[in-house]
Amino acid sequence: MDNNQRCGWCGTDPLYVDYHDHVWGRPVSSDQELFAKLCLDGQQAGLSWITILRKQKNYEEAFDDFDPEKIARYDQARIDSLLQNAGIVRNRLKVESIIRNARSFLAFGDEERSFSEFLWSFVDYRPIQGAWETLQDVPVTTPEAEALSRALKKRGFNFVGPTIVYAFMQAVGMVNDHLLNCPARESCLELAVERDFPRSQEP
């Protein structure tokens, strides 16, 4: 892919370029992948995403590959241990937010629809296709992100403000915000046509 055509936010860092080319904007429907990504996006509050991306493997090791059942059982001793881990952001509120979010995620097990169905319902179960020419055109939040942020907070999640939620929606393909001249945009469009998206069977 021609670097001059990519969305400019990824620059030339190989890790960031790979993330742009193969991850960002590709639709995700796995409950656990969505949970992990929501938690990671929350960790970037006040930081750049590349900072968290570089620490992603450390987070996966520290938080049991984002297994929510294991995370929900973390006690104070485990929290104290995590706060000594130099491979992650050692912020107590952020560490505790992942545990809180795991417990909120598990509550979906008592419902007829999954976490994925809940999230995708905010875009009517189909990726929203942006049509932006420049990075300056891309919004930092939308009414859909604001609605999802409110719903997540109501269910007990935190570090899920509208800006973080919109970044999450972009990353997991709920929104395709690759610029019009970016070759990755077409790949995401094709995936949006090919994939079956989670949809509740309720009338």
**Tally of CB atoms within 10 A around 46:** 9
* Model confidence pTM above 0.85: yes
Name the burial class of residue 171, with classes exposed (0-12), middle (13-18) and buried (19+) by CB atoms within 10 angstroms of its CB. buried
Going from the N-terminus, what domains does the chain have, and what CATH number goes with each? 8-194 (1.10.340.30)
Is residue 92 within 8 Å of 79, Cβ to Cβ? yes
Per-residue confidence of the chain (203 residues) as pLDDT tens digits? 555 689 999 999 999 999 999 999 999 999 999 999 999 999 999 999 999 999 999 999 999 999 999 999 999 999 999 999 999 999 999 999 999 999 999 998 877 789 999 999 999 999 999 999 999 999 999 999 999 999 999 999 999 999 999 999 999 999 999 999 999 999 999 998 877 776 654 43
Residue (of 20, 30, 68) closest to 170 by Cα position: 20
Residue 25, CB half-sphere, CA atoms under 13 Å: how many? 24
Q: Measure the CA dihedral 132/138/144/145, to 10°.
A: 150
Tokens of 4: 């001059």
Positive or negative CA dihedral for 101, 106, 111, 112? positive
